Amino acid sequence: MNDNTSSGLTRLKPGDAASQARLQHIFRYAQVGRCVNGVAHDINNHLGAAMAYAELALMDAALTEDAQEQMENIIKAVDKCGKLVSTLTGIARPLVNNNNMIDVNGVIRGALMLRDYAFRAARIEVTTELAPNLPSPEADGPRLHLALLYILLNMEEHFHETQTQGGISIRSYHDGDGVYIEVKNSGGPVPEAARAPMFEPFTTSKEECNMGMGLFLARQMMQEQNGDLSYDPEHGFVLKIPVAGV
């Protein structure tokens, strides 16, 4: 049987029947995820052809103003689809050490792009306050992207489980030796007793297929690159990306 903690969280035991059902559900999604890179390659080829034909058609001097506007809209849509596919494949590839100078605000926008439809469908309002001219820290972009995505998914699942609607605010800023990302939802602070256990593996407050690994892995990914993930009741989840020599 799963154990209920005093904080209202549940510690899963992977050997019991309920946890096995969750694992089977997640395994199915994992196998679908293995197909992403191959499918994305074909999608990009088709998008490239669509973009080329649309740009060629746009050069036709005989186009009416309305037709020209429609072609421009097609080009914008194809460009957005390309960015979505590129963002998705970036986090679907096997994780390797991949430290580079990264655009932190770009990572935030990419993560939000992946959840844009789901947030709109769930009526989750997202507000951002992204500081301009942030330093470009040397970090593992895919790991940072995944850590942020796990936090966003955690909040999305919370709204679904509690059958509530709310908002998520994201803020980026530079302070001292780090660039920070704060992610906070409108549902109020996490109870004090749950703040430490929620970062432990196989510990969750949710039902269905959740395995209680998201926050644990998000913190682990940040710490693997000398950063950190913490929780503050006033600021929400805080990701720190160290910046050398600033």
Q: Domain ranges for the chain, please list them.
A: 3-12+99-242
- Summarised one tens digit per residue, pLDDT across range 83-134 is 888 887 777 776 667 788 899 999 999 999 989 988 998 899 999 999 999 9
CATH architecture for the domain at 3-12+99-242: 2-Layer Sandwich (3.30)
Residues 6+ apart with CB under 8 A from 199: 215, 216, 219, 229, 231
* Strands 3-4, 228-232: pairing kind: unpaired
Higher pLDDT: 91 or 222? It is 222
Phi/psi region, residue 212 (left: phi>0; alpha: psi -120 to 50; beta: rest), is left
Higher pLDDT: 29 or 48? It is 48
Higher pLDDT: 17 or 71? It is 71
The CA–CA distances, whole Å, from 204 to 63, 116, 137, 194 equal: 58, 24, 32, 10
pLDDT of residue 175: 92
Mean pLDDT, rounded, of the chain: 84
Residue 82 has pLDDT above 90, yes or no: no
Sequence-ordered strand ranges (E) for the chain: 3-4, 10-11, 99-101, 125-130, 138-140, 167-175, 178-185, 203-204, 228-232, 236-242
Q: Which segment of 40-54, 131-145, 152-166, 181-195 scores lowest on mean pLDDT?
A: 152-166
Q: Which segment of 41-55, 115-129, 198-212 scores lowest on mean pLDDT?
A: 198-212
Q: Which residues of 181-217 are buried (b: 16+ CB within 10 A; e: fewer)?
A: bbbbbeeeebeeebeebbbbbbbbbbeeebbbbbbbb
pLDDT bin (cut points 50, 70, 90) of residue 245 is: low
